[in-house]
Amino acid sequence: MRELYPLIQPYREGNLQVSDLHTIHFEESGNCQGQPIVLLHGGPGGGCPSFYRQYFHPEKWRLVMFDQRGCGQSRPHAELRENTTWDLVNDIEKLREYLGIEKWVVFGGSWGSTLSLAYSQTHPSRCKGLILRGIFMLRPKELHWFYQEGASYIFPDAWEEYLKPIPAAEQGDMITAYYQRLTSQDLQIQLEAARAWSIWEASTSKLLLDTSLIRQFGNDEFAAAFARIECHYFMNGGFFEPDNQLLLNIDCIRHIPGVIVQGRYDVVCPMISAWELHQAWPEAEFIVVPDAGHSMSEPGIRSALIEATDKFANL
């Protein structure tokens, strides 16, 4: 089992104006002369915690991380306007150009895997490699499984808490019911829904329950951005047309070296999505971690990701 690298501090931080409304916060860490890599965080709306830096050899990588629109240190906070998948794809390109990077490796898990696929299929010439984890392609069947019926059979106790803000008459369409509350003008209603939405994901992300993760996701500031932005994207089908756009466009990236890491018991992003991506893209290395759920901090997933980043540092 590979362990995390020691925590390092960024050697550069900044803010980049990407539209009249939005400014994104970014940081660089590691070796400024190293192999460039961009980390695309989950959610959408999750932001970049500092421990993400520990998955990358500090002497080999020039690690770029940024908080996507509306979350983390990016501003305005929890903003839904001008916030789509394609806005984020454009932001990644603006950041690459701003930093003077010609090509980079793209690393993303969960929603970050969605965004990695969307970005690489739009700008394949800018991608040296793809390291993906916890595959999510934001298709209706994936959303239905986690937010309507499926994961609820495995975590009925956590599901009961997720149901609480929604009256029984509205529970036939949980995403819509939550969206109405997450966009309410009443801040109390908004925050109650945001905490319940976020804690549901935290309660199901690991093979073994992690109470510290639940506390983090239940924080008002984090939950507001996480829940509002996620639900906004899900209400809009990820802004994909058609629903399986990312699978249909695999030919655009078939030539790019890739690794897919998937926990066998991932309830948030079930393995069927990773399997279907693997079938469409057999050229990418496919790693199933037999004793892991969704989180990148699961020991087996952590180890597989660090092995992948070590290998890709020499591309």
Angle separating helix axes 220-235 and 187-204, nearest 10 degrees: 80
d(CA 259, CA 165): 39
Q: Please name the residue ranges forming H helices in 127-255.
A: 140-147, 156-163, 174-182, 187-204, 211-217, 220-235, 245-248
Report helix, strand or coil for 263. strand
Q: Is the four-CA dihedral 78, 80, 85, 86 of positive or negative sign?
A: negative
d(CA 28, CA 104): 13
d(CA 203, CA 294): 11
Residues labelled as active-site residues: 110, 266, 294
Kindly give the pairing relationship between strand 23-30 and strand 12-17. antiparallel
Q: Which residues in 15-34 are b (16+ Cβ under 10 Å) and which e?
A: ebebeeebbbbbbbbbbeeb
Contact between 264 and 271 (Cβ < 8 Å): yes
Q: Which one, of 152, 167, 130, 172, lies nearest residue 39 by Cα?
A: 130
Q: Interior CA angle at 45 toward 41 and 48, to 5°?
A: 40
Q: Which one, of 235, 237, 229, lies nearest residue 45 by Cα?
A: 229
Number of Cβ within 10 Å of residue 124's Cβ equals 15
d(CA 89, CA 108): 13
